[in-house]
Amino acid sequence: MSRQVTLLGARSDIALACAHEFAAAGDLVTLAARRAETLTADARDIELRHGGTVTLREFDALAPDHAEFVAGADLPDVVICAVGLLGDQTSDERDAAAASAVFRTNFEGPALALAAYANAMEARGSGVIVGISSVAGDRGRATNYIYGSAKAGFTAYLSGLRNRLAKTGVHVVTVKPGFVATQMTEHLDLPDKLTAQPAEIGRAVKTAVERRKDVIYVRGVWRLIMGIIRAIPERVFKKLSI
């Protein structure tokens, strides 16, 4: 039986990779994003490759209330939030407006959107919520603490939401990618062995949904890396630049 899967922030490479993965399994996909009409070619590509019909919906993650958006279509079986903004640490730490955009896009907007889905799914008694967070939220580091702190907030939010919904039939998955080769990171020099492709994220998300995983690291080596970083004593950590 096919599922209905909604992708929030669907212009991102990760969201589109997830869309292909679920569509290939016969699921019905909705791509939701700002300027949704720009996704027409992507929707057509998914339809041609995998069959089925892809729906486009206009979605603004920074809208003050998402209840009307959620009520405006059939409630999906799975909602995946891939909304995100990397920003630039050096400029963001001196530009309040830029920092606010990073905070709101990575934490406030996704959290409020998923809150609306959580309430609707809880009332129905079923559903899966997936939040794409980041290993950057595992510990604040000088090189990306604005982005990282927003992702840390989102990770904590997803954890609390999972705890709240544990007995309601609604499951919450936290996805923590490390480096991913996307348009958002194309200006960075990323190490090949630690950098995943979007398709790898898509496969990992689909597997996590089907196996009802709680928290996944993509790739697994990041669990070890971030465990080591978290274990560094603060007096030593302050002397590092990582």
Q: Among all residues, which ones are annotated catalytic? A: 147
132 SS3 class: strand
For 136-144, the CB contacts below 8 A with 24+ separation are: 137/176, 138/176, 138/226, 138/229, 138/230, 139/226, 139/229, 139/230, 141/229, 141/242, 142/241, 142/242, 143/89, 143/241, 143/242, 144/89
Six token digits for residue 107: 């934490």
Residue 86's nearest CA partner among 18, 7, 185, 177 is 185
d(C-alpha 53, C-alpha 174), whole Å:
28
d(C-alpha 224, C-alpha 18), whole Å:
25
List beta partners, residue 81.
Answer: 8, 131
Q: How many residues are recorded in the chain?
A: 242
